[in-house]
């Protein structure tokens, strides 16, 4: 996989003038996120307990994405706690309103305090027919309304083995961002083979892929690609977080399994917060 010139220079800077200073220069332009994707987990009581227990950090943007019915109570718990924790949904419908049984609109999410929404998660692509066109519609409508999309892309094991990773990611990126020329979004690279399997991508492989993603982003949005946070997701946890944190093109993590317990999620927040302070 070819490294972008920027990544090459960044790596060179890190090697030449030392990791700490390099890190400071390279990642300071981008926000660092630690985002919890709870999927279909947690009760009301567990949500209250979790939000009471976790620590937040001013160095890192912490976002929690509970299931839809827990969004409003989560919003209230966060407000009560006074912690700078963002709230995100796991899905949204593209239409303003109407006869779409079981769906939730963008304004409904914003009404209950959501600022973020995960779009195009591989589980939704797999189980709910979410394709690039739908992802694009949802992203466009969310951006228009000021809801920040967390756009997920990633290849399956078969695609990886067939050496189609770059091809798949390029198609997903161009698809998701078709005709999008403004607004802030977050990208999450989530190799499907690493999600919930305990088989996380090595930090080196993730870095290489993130660098590739940024080079494709550059073709789509130009220099703005440098300021877009690209998160890694797929069996990220307390033990491997520091390795991802050290990489110049990895700007945080989207966490499933390890975000279900306050102590392990906290551990990940601490790793990313420390990285920033130390740099
Ligand atoms: P995982 O899930 O951390 O359990 O692998 C990540 C995700 O699906 O967002």
**C-alpha–C-alpha distance, residues 139 and 1, integer Å:** 28
The pLDDT assigned to 21 comes to 42
**What's the average pLDDT block by block, 10 residues per block, for the chain (279 residues)?**
49 45 54 98 98 91 98 98 96 98 98 98 95 98 97 98 98 97 93 96 98 97 96 98 98 98 97 66
Q: Which of 121, 130, 155, 238 is catalytic?
A: 121
The pLDDT assigned to 181 comes to 79
The pLDDT assigned to 23 comes to 44
**Annotated catalytic residue 121:** yes
For the CA of 195, the closest atom of ligand 1 is: 5
For the CA of 39, the closest atom of ligand 1 is: 8
The pLDDT assigned to 275 comes to 65
* Ligand 1 center to 13 CA (angstroms): 32
Contact 33, 231 (CB under 8 A): yes
Closest C-alpha to 275, from 242, 228, 239, 236 = 242
* Ligand 1 center to 259 CA (angstroms): 9
Assess whether the C-beta atom of 235 lies below 6 angstroms from ligand 1.
yes
The pLDDT assigned to 220 comes to 95
For the CA of 237, the closest atom of ligand 1 is: 3
224 DSSP assignment: G
* Ligand 1 center to 171 CA (angstroms): 22
**Annotated catalytic residue 103:** no
**C-alpha–C-alpha distance, residues 225 and 217, integer Å:** 6
């Amino acid at each position: 996989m070819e490294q972008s010139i920027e990544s090459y220079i960044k790596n060179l800077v890190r090697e030449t003038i030392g990791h700490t200073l390099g890190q400071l220069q390279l990642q300071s332009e981008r926000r660092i996120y630690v985002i919890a994707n709870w999927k279909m987990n947690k009760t009301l009581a567990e949500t209250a307990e979790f939000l009471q227990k976790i620590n937040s950090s001013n160095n890192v943007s912490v976002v929690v994405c509970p299931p839809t019915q827990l969004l409003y109570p989560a919003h209230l718990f966060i407000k009560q706690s006074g912690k700078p924790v963002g709230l995100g949904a796991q899905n949204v419908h593209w239409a303003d309103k109407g006869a779409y049984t079981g769906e939730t609109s963008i304004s409904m999410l914003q009404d209950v305090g959501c600022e973020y929404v995960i779009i195009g998660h591989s589980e939704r692509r797999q189980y709910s027919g979410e394709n690039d066109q739908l992802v694009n519609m949802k992203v466009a409508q969310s951006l228009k309304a000021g809801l920040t999309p967390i756009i997920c892309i990633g290849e399956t094991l078969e695609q990886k083995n067939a050496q189609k990773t770059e091809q798949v990611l390029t198609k997903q990126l161009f698809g998701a961002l078709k005709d999008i020329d403004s607004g802030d979004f977050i990208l999450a690279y989530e190799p499907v083979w690493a999600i919930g399997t305990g088989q996380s991508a090595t930090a080196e492989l993730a870095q290489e892929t993130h660098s590739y993603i940024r080079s494709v982003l550059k073709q789509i949005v130009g220099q703005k690609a440098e300021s877009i946070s690209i998160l890694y997701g797929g069996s990220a946890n307390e033990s491997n977080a520091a390795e991802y944190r050290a990489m110049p093109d990895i700007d945080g993590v989207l966490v499933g399994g390890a975000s279900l317990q306050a102590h392990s999620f906290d551990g990940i927040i601490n790793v990313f917060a420390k990285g920033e302070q130390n740099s």
